[in-house]
């Protein structure tokens, strides 16, 4: 038999090769691309990536809500017989939500910023500040004396921590956009990408910060004042040739998603808080309110008999007998006056009802979608200017909308990117959506009506007779005459059959004016998006990026 002898040299070579492969493997997992083998984050250049990213920062005021499945629209009582609470199984992604409703002091900070940056004494800006003001006259009653709230509720420090009211849906959306920019501006300053204190000392109507504008073109932020952007701690190399990571990007992982109104599904999921009423992957029993049980009073020994929310007890009873108050409030109550639900959210029922993002329709179309359900998508894109880049709004081209009630509301602020609706060219051969405005998708569009002519020409399909509208709601028009004076045209028709249209929004939760029936999170109502009341407020939400949960699961 022939035996191959292994020499010492062969052993040495084999060991060297094995060590080499091990070293390459180790190197590949610590800074080299698994796609190309190239070095990532090389100081000489090439692909840069935040490999040290851990998880999304919890933004100011928010609480993390782990997503999951739940039965949306499940109510124990439907005495109104609206048939708009048909139960559907829905799944909601993880997100963040405000711990409390937006308070007067939070909204006052917004008003103060607008007044300082866009002085209402200047003709070009007067409608910015005025358009953001809450309607304090919502407190008035023809047969009641409420002038104290009319004059003091928003601004007096005694009401600082009370939920803001008199804010319509559009104003709530604009507050959310403003909040996004101020928080990201602070984050970028903290991380050294912006000049310190520029957000206070250098901001003017011509030099404001916008998150989306910064991401599109950092040097256009603050009206093109590059000194502010290039004087951050991390930008010491900004003027040196070949410098990298001068600006923050999406890939940096520090810029937060936008604050926004929660969708109806998110709000209801967060309010019912089934996380504290489960066993493994099953729910235990029914839950009528955001708290455990089917009663509005506390069963705990220390607080037995106390009301767990601020609502109307009965006819003429908003707060109980003096000296023994049922809920310790007659109008609204300060934030955190009542125990939080299992997600740590306060006042998800009672105090004030809350705007959500959705356009109202009587049904939730779970056949079309059962994941992150939301009705109200209007897809937009950046408007491209003559230079081929996104067009930034300036002090000279601010756009305003005249609402149905005649009020003027700004559409965008200087420093933000101009937006326009997507076109058929943008949706060509797409399977997931085919148009910009999807508010009446599968329910209310002309194709849903019995009058739609599938065999007609495009010109015929584009016409719509007044008598053939799917939702025959009033049309209040606001126009201007030849002299520029505003002319309000009130729809006096007696043939209208509904108030539902594409401009009515859902609001959820009971309020200080409502009976206990409306405290059920599954109850839903609607109101025109450009009108306000003394019992509707709002809170913000923010999408969560990354994994569903960063916590280790525990069986309970």
pLDDT (tens digit, 9 = 90+) per residue, 14-37? 555 554 444 444 444 458 999 999
Tokens matching residue 344: 């740590």
The ranges assigned to domains in the chain are: 54-191+254-366+508-550
DSSP 173-231: HHHHHHHHHHHHHHHHHHTTSS-TTHHHHT-BTTB---HHHHHH-GGGGGGG-HHHHHT
How much is the average pLDDT of 501-516? Answer: 95
Tokens of 525: 């109502």
Q: In this structure, what DSSP letter does residue 523 have?
A: -
Q: Which of 303, 424, 340 is nearest to 101 (CA)?
A: 340
- Cβ atoms of residues 159 and 134 within 8 Å: no
Q: Is the pLDDT of residue 460 over 80?
A: no
Most confident residue range from 33-47, 115-129, 168-182, 447-461? 168-182
According to the model, what pLDDT value does residue 25 have? 43
Check residue 445 and give its pLDDT: 65
Report the predicted TM-score, pTM, of the whole model to 2 decimal places. 0.90
- The residue with greater pLDDT, 468 or 187, is 187
* Residue closest to 173 by CA, chosen among 354, 446, 357, 384: 357
Give the separation between CA 206 and CA 187, rounded to whole angstroms.
21
Q: pLDDT, tens digit, for every residue of 399-442?
A: 898 888 888 999 999 999 999 999 999 999 999 999 899 998 88
Domain 54-191+254-366+508-550, architecture per CATH: Alpha-Beta Complex (3.90)
Instruction: Please tell me the distance from the alpha carbon of residue 421 to that of residue 391, in angstroms, as a whole number.
Output: 14
Element (H, E) at 120: none
Give the β-pairing of 486-489 and 477-480: antiparallel
Contact 123, 205 (CB under 8 A): no
Most confident by average pLDDT, 45-49, 295-299, 309-313: 309-313
Token pair in block for residue 192: 């050294």
Largest CA distance in the chain: 115
Residues 6+ apart with CB under 8 A from 459: none
Listed in sequence order, the residues at least 6 apart from 64 whose beta carbon sits closer than 8 Å to its beta carbon are 58, 94, 96, 544
Give the whole-angstrom CA distance, residue 98 versus residue 337.
16
How would DSSP label each residue in 388-429? SSBPBP-TTS--EEE-TTS-EEES--TTSBPEEE--HHHHTT
Among 138-142, 483-487, 489-493, 532-536, which stretch is predicted with the lowest mean pLDDT?
A: 483-487
pLDDT value at position 14?
A: 55
Q: What is the average per-residue pLDDT within 71-87? A: 86
> In whole angstroms, how large is the CA radius of gyration of the chain?
28
| 199-252 pLDDT per residue, tens | 999 999 999 999 999 999 898 889 888 888 877 666 655 555 555 567 899 989
Please give the Cα distance from 265 to 380 (Å, whole number).
23
DSSP string, 51-110: TT-------TTEEEE--EEEEET--S--TT-------EEEEE--EEEESSPPBHHHHHHH
Residue 432 belongs to what H/E stretch?
none
């Amino acid at each position: 038999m022939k035996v191959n002898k292994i020499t010492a040299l062969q052993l040495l070579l084999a060991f060297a090769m094995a060590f080499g492969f091990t070293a390459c493997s180790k190197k590949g997992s610590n800074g080299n691309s698994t796609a190309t083998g190239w070095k990532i984050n090389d100081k000489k250049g090439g692909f840069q990536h935040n490999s040290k990213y851990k998880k999304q920062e919890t933004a100011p005021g928010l609480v993390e809500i782990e997503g999951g499945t739940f039965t949306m629209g499940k109510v124990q009582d439907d005495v109104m017989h609206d048939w708009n609470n048909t139960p559907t199984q829905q799944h909601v992604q993880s997100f963040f939500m405000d711990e409390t409703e937006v308070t007067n002091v939070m909204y006052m900070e917004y008003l103060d910023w607008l007044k300082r940056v866009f002085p209402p004494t200047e003709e070009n800006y007067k409608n910015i500040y005025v358009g953001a003001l809450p309607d304090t006259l919502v407190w008035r009653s023809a047969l009641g004396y409420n002038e104290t709230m009319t004059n003091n509720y928003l601004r007096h420090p005694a009401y600082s921590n009370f939920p803001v009211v008199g804010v319509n849906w559009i104003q709530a959306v604009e507050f959310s956009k403003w909040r996004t920019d101020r928080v990201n501006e602070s984050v970028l300053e903290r991380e050294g990408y912006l000049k310190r204190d520029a957000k206070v000392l250098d901001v003017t109507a011509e030099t404001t910060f916008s998150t989306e504008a910064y991401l599109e073109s950092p040097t256009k932020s603050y009206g093109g004042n590059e000194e502010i952007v290039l004087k951050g701690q991390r930008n010491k190399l900004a003027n040196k040739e070949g410098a990298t990571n001068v600006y923050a990007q999406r890939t940096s992982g520090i810029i937060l998603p936008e604050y926004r109104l929660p969708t109806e599904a998110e709000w209801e999921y967060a309010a019912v808080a089934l996380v504290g009423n489960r066993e493994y992957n099953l729910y235990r029993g029914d839950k009528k309110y955001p708290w455990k049980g089917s009663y509005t009073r506390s069963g705990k020994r220390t607080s037995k008999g106390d009301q767990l929310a601020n609502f109307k007890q009965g006819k003429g009873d908003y707060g109980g007998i003096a000296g023994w108050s049922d809920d310790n409030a007659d109008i609204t109550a300060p934030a955190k006056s009542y125990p939080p639900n299992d997600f740590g959210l306060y006042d998800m029922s009672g105090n004030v009802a809350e705007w959500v993002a959705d356009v109202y329709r009587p049904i939730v179309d779970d056949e079309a979608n059962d994941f992150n359900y939301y009705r109200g998508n209007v897809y937009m894109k950046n408007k491209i200017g003559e230079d081929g880049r996104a067009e930034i709004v300036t002090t000279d081209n601010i756009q305003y909308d005249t609402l149905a009630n005649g009020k003027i509301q700004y559409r965008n602020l200087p420093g933000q990117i101009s937006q326009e609706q997507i076109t058929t060219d943008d949706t060509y051969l797409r399977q997931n959506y085919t148009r910009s405005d999807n508010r009446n998708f599968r329910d209310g569009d002309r194709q849903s009506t019995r009058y739609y002519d599938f065999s007609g020409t495009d010109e015929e399909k584009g016409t719509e007779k007044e008598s053939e509208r799917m939702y025959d709601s009033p049309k209040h028009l606001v126009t201007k005459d030849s002299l520029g004076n505003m002319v309000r045209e009130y729809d006096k028709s007696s043939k209208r059959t509904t108030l539902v249209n594409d401009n009515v929004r859902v609001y959820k939760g009971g309020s200080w004016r409502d009976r206990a029936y409306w405290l059920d999170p599954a109850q839903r109502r609607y109101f025109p998006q450009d009108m306000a009341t003394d019992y509707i407020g709002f809170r913000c939400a923010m999408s969560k990026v990354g994994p569903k949960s960063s916590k280790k699961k525990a069986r309970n």
